[in-house]
Amino acid sequence: MSSFRIATVRGIPIKIHWTFFILPLFYGLSAGSTAGAVRGVVFILLLFACVVAHELGHSIAAQFYGIRVKEILLLPLGGLAQITRMPRRPIHEFFIAIAGPAVNILIVIILGLLVPSVLDLRRLSQQAVALAGVDLLRDLTIANLYLAVFNLLPAFPMDGGRVLRALLNMVLPLTTATSIASWVGRVFAIGFVMLGLATSSWTLTLIGMFIFFGAGAENSMVQQGARWQARTVADLMRPATSLHPFDLIGQIEPMVRASAQPVYPVIDGARLEGMVSREAVLQGLHYFGAGTPVQAITARAHYVHPDIPIDALYEILSMRHLPGVLVIDGKQLLVVVGVDDVLQVVNPA
């Protein structure tokens, strides 16, 4: 188990990844004194409370639009609110993305009101400042300001990048908007890595690398999703040769071997008895011999309606390890669709 739950808010489990504990440990150990160590750990915990609040901002906005939030995961580099689906409209994505940084701005305002001296410490002695914990609050205020500004940089898939994508998506198709946002994100990412290397800031270097790969991954996910959504099973159907239960494996084997049809409906008169895969015919010949009827190797028929989307079909094929399915509209057997046809749509040559 690599992460564990610390709380549940509005039905959303808040989980901490084990690597998260490296951070307070690091700050505790790198401090010069015990008091410094305690302060460092307290600061990190308060900061992460703010990160949780940021993620809850995204989550509550998502729930407002009827999107389920699977969990909030806390990693050393920050939090991650995992929403279960894309927002339906660009304006929804805009508000979900901006809700996180907005929470940090709110925290800055509240801290500023609670401790008016937070941003003006010149009148207090250093000792008084430390005793009152004011310096801790000041650091927390600055950190929240930093969190809001950094997250709002248009470095997709960070919040600012999502805001950019949402704005572009108001006038452009999702695929184009995502392509542009992810290129902008990658330029920022390269900038972060170079700045991180130049200043020996490993955190910034690492964040830059995460953004670079994250932008690429999310872009290809959106492009692939669009390819899938545009097509239904009806686009992939091919005419099917059917078999009779009493056909002998030896008789049909040359035809099956020469054909690319992945599965065969087994039909007796008007009755669908089941289906046989190309693989099953070739193996049946090997194990049972040429004189065995097709009946002996017939399996249960798996069929789908021509209207189902390709991604749903892909799930059925991969979950049941099927080489293909029959397509049936009402009572009528139309054709078959194989896993290779589906894969060709997903990864066109």
The contact set with Zn ion (CB under 5 A) reads 100, 159
57 vs 262, beta carbon nearer Zn ion:
57
Contact 256, 264 (CB under 8 A): yes
DSSP 3-state assignment of 8? strand
In whole angstroms, what is the distance from residue 56 CA to residue 50 CA? 10
Nearer to Zn ion, 102 or 184 (CB): 102
Distances (CA, A) of 28 to 23, 84, 173, 340: 8, 36, 49, 55
Q: Taking the complex as a whole, how short is the minimal distance between the CB of residue 105 and Zn ion, in angstroms?
A: 12
Smallest separation (angstroms) from Zn ion to the CB of 170: 20
Contacts of 289 (CB under 8 A, 6+ apart): 249, 250
Residue closer to Zn ion, measured from CB, 147 or 243: 147
Q: How far is the CB of 58 from Zn ion (least distance, A)?
A: 5
CB of 262 to Zn ion, least distance (A): 45
Concatenate the DSSP letters of all residues of 143-196 into one string.
HHHHHHHHHHSS-TTSHHHHHHHHHHHTTS-HHHHHHHHHHHHHHHHHHHHHHH
Cβ distance to Zn ion smaller for residue 79 or 284? 79
Q: Give 159 or 218: the residue with its C-beta nearer to Zn ion.
A: 159
Question: Residue 292 and residue 227: Cα distance in Å, rounded?
Answer: 43
Asked if 246 and 294 count as a contact pair (C-beta separation under 8 A), the reply is yes
- Name residues whose C-beta falls within 8 Å of residue 26's C-beta, 6 or more positions apart in sequence: none
Does residue 262 contact residue 324 with C-beta atoms inside 8 Å?
yes
DSSP state letter for 83: E
Q: Cβ 226 to Zn ion, closest distance in Å?
A: 25
72 or 322: CB nearest Zn ion: 72
Q: 102 or 280, CB closer to Zn ion?
A: 102
> Considering the complex, what minimum distance in angstroms separates the CB of residue 100 from Zn ion?
3
Residue 334 phi/psi, 5-degree rounding, is -95, -70
Q: In angstroms, what is the minimal distance from the CB of 21 to Zn ion?
A: 22
Distances, alpha carbon 196 to alpha carbons 51, 147, 153, 209, 314, in Å: 22, 17, 16, 10, 42
Q: How far is the CB of 48 from Zn ion (least distance, A)?
A: 14
Toward Zn ion, which CB reaches closer, 82 or 201? 82
> Which helix (H) or strand (E) element contains residue 268?
strand 263-268
Task: Name the closest residue to Zn ion (Cβ).
Answer: 100
Number of CB atoms found within 10 A of residue 230's CB: 11
